[in-house]
Chain A
Amino acid sequence: MLIKGLIVVQFGLAITLMIGTYVMQGQINFILNKDLGFNPENVVAVEINSELQNALKIGQLYSEEAQRIPGVLSTSITAGHYRDYSEYGVVDIGMAQMKSATTLSQLGDGIPSEAVDAQYLQTMDIELLKGVNFSKQANTFPSDEVIVNQAFVDAMGWDNPIGQILEDKPENQGWVGPFDGKKVIGVIENYHFKSLYDPLQPMVLQHIEAADQNPGTILIRLSSDRMSETISNLKSLWNSIAEQEAFNLAFMDDMVQRQYNEEIRWNRIIRISSMASILLACFGLFGLSALVAQRRIKEIGIRKVFGASIKNILVLISKDFVLLVVCGFAISAPVAWYLSNQWLTGFSYKIDLDALPFLYGGLTVLLIALTTVSWQSVKAALQNPVENLRNE
């Protein structure tokens, strides 16, 4: 009885962890495969030191020259930083918080903003929903143009966003917000510039020259063919233009994935512990089933003599153990449901918790348990009953 109780608890734990593994796997797959509104694949970010003199000039020169390299599809200069600080739990995918006020205060204190050039949308593969992009011709853009995302339009409640002038002037405070007087020329699809822990926010794109900001990154979209060759060409180009500066290149899809490093690591830990706990539970089960098969060896012999097939015997022996696993499931399902739900609340974008992980978790463990038990029960069922009934 005590042994059975222990095995129920062990299986309860194993099933809980197994369900957890499936839920986490599901959520991680969901966030890694979710349409982010931009396409991070085959995009690399080359860091450029914004403290550098002539940083903009160097960036523009590099950007232009890079476009001539075969395998480079598009380049863009942005003021944002695309850096991986995942060891501190932070990954920057562009964007700076701009303090804003008044009219825009309904959008919150800080508005994420990025200073980019006209190739940004193309390089990031972001869809322009309404209006126009920044002009591609150098120095022809009026400095008061901005592009906003759909969330911005929704937050402002605009029916006709194009041509709207932003007011960003706190009353009686004597200072003017960074977006004051800017005209909306385009609306882009919402894209997730932050991890999926955070909800989509209203954001503003400015032209890097109009915003008078130094570049932080050159984004480059590559063709997927012969990528390493292209990258080594990009490196030589960098060395010829900015020989004093280190060439720092990062893949955007890696960075996006590293936002979830913690989750991926936890998933691995949970998966390994669930396997360990299944293994442990199965050791117990193996011993118990050996004991039971031994204790019932005479009964098995008698039943075989009176017509029981091998299948009948397997069912006979396994039935009780299935019951143990079912008990374990009954205990673990609510616990697993609670824990999974708790974990998922941290995400703004998450899977719906349905029955499938529970089903898979339970069935996986049941299958492993049955395999363990069948080792003993098949052995018992195959024995010649004469052998077991002889020495009485």
Chain B
Amino acid sequence: MIKLRNIDRYIDKRLQRNFILKGIDLDIAEGDFVSIMGPSGAGKSTLLNIIGFLDDANEGEYYFLDEPVHGLNEKQKSEYHRSYIGFVFQAYHLIDELTVYENIEMPLLYRKVKGSQRKSMVADMLDRFNIVAKKDLFPNQLSGGQQQLVGVARALIGSPKLILADEPTGNLHSDQSKEIMETFKKLNKEDGVTIIQVTHSDEMATYGDRIINLQDGAVTENNPYEEE
């Protein structure tokens, strides 16, 4: 599904080039549940953003579903991004002024889904995450765990093939974290959604099938658990 070849991402300062990512080669198959780990500043988020079309690599090749992303124009990219990818953030990033219902509905507005269809899709999602009762509340009226559930529901509403989660449990208690991770696992196993998460926590990383370690912008260990 995802094929990265020799990806470089750098920032040019006056006299030197600061590499954030250097020579990344990575293959992720459809249906994988991958955890990216590594110390702060290793380039985990940048890698996730490049995979998610939010950032561009300076060098290298990126194939998404066998399509060369480095050859797509902006419009095609945003089309891919919109149709195949859902994002979950550490800080939830819900829109404070919108209710739970409206937050979940929001991505559908940019996909030109009809009103009646939107309604039933959002209702399904509320049902699935047991938050029907909360649909008219605003994000600040929810606990962190509940907010992140809404965040996951929003990421899933467009039925993406790939979920990108940037430290989804970073702000949560362990109970809440487990709930989110169980949800991801279920999505991965039952619905075949490919999931890539960035995490600091070994415990959370183990929910995935595969761990990728990043250090100073390079992959140091690929699938350490499988090798053991």
Contacts and interface: CB of A to CB of B under 8 A. Distances in A.
B55 A386 contact: yes
Given A303-B95, A386-B49, 15 more contacts: A298-B93, A302-B93, A303-B110, A305-B54, A306-B87, A307-B78, A307-B107, A307-B110, A308-B110, A384-B54, A386-B55, A389-B89, A389-B93, A390-B45, A392-B93
Contacts of A386: 49, 54-55
A352 to B, nearest CB: 44
A312 B96 CA distance: 19
Contacts of A303: 95, 106, 110
Interface in A304-354: 305-309, 312
B49 A307 contact: no
- Chain A interface mostly: helix
Given A299-B97, A385-B54, A386-B54, A306 B90 contact: no
15 contacts: A299-B96, A303-B110, A305-B54, A305-B87, A305-B93, A306-B106, A306-B110, A307-B78, A307-B107, A307-B110, A307-B111, A309-B110, A390-B45, A392-B89, A392-B93
Contacts of B95: 299, 302-303
A307 B81 contact: yes
Interface in A163-193: none
Give the interface centre of B55, B93, B111 by most chain A CB atoms within 10 Å.
Answer: B93
Interface string B89-133: 111011111000000001100110000000000000000000000
Contacts of B178: none
A306 B82 CA distance: 7
Interface size class for chain B?
A: 20 to 34
Contacts of A385: 54
Contacts of A302: 93-95
A389 B49 CA distance: 11
Interface string A349-392: 00000000000000000000000000000000000111001101
B154 interface: yes
Interface string B66-100: 00000000000010011000010111011111000
Nearest to B53: A305
Contacts of A389: 89, 91, 93
B93 A307 contact: no
Nearest to A305: B87
B89 A306 contact: no
B166 to A, nearest CB: 9
Contacts of A384: 54-55
Given A386-B49, A389-B93, A392-B93, A306 B154 contact: yes
Contacts of B45: 390
Contact of A392 (B81, B91, B106): B91
Contacts of A312: 110
A384 B93 CA distance: 15
A301 B81 CA distance: 14
A298 B96 CA distance: 10
Nearest to B83: A307
B118 to A, nearest CB: 14
Contact of A307 (B55, B82, B89, B94): B82
A134 to B, nearest CB: 81
Nearest to A298: B93
A30 B109 CA distance: 50
Nearest to A388: B93
A214 B154 CA distance: 95
A386 B54 CA distance: 7
Interface in A276-298: 298
Nearest to A385: B54
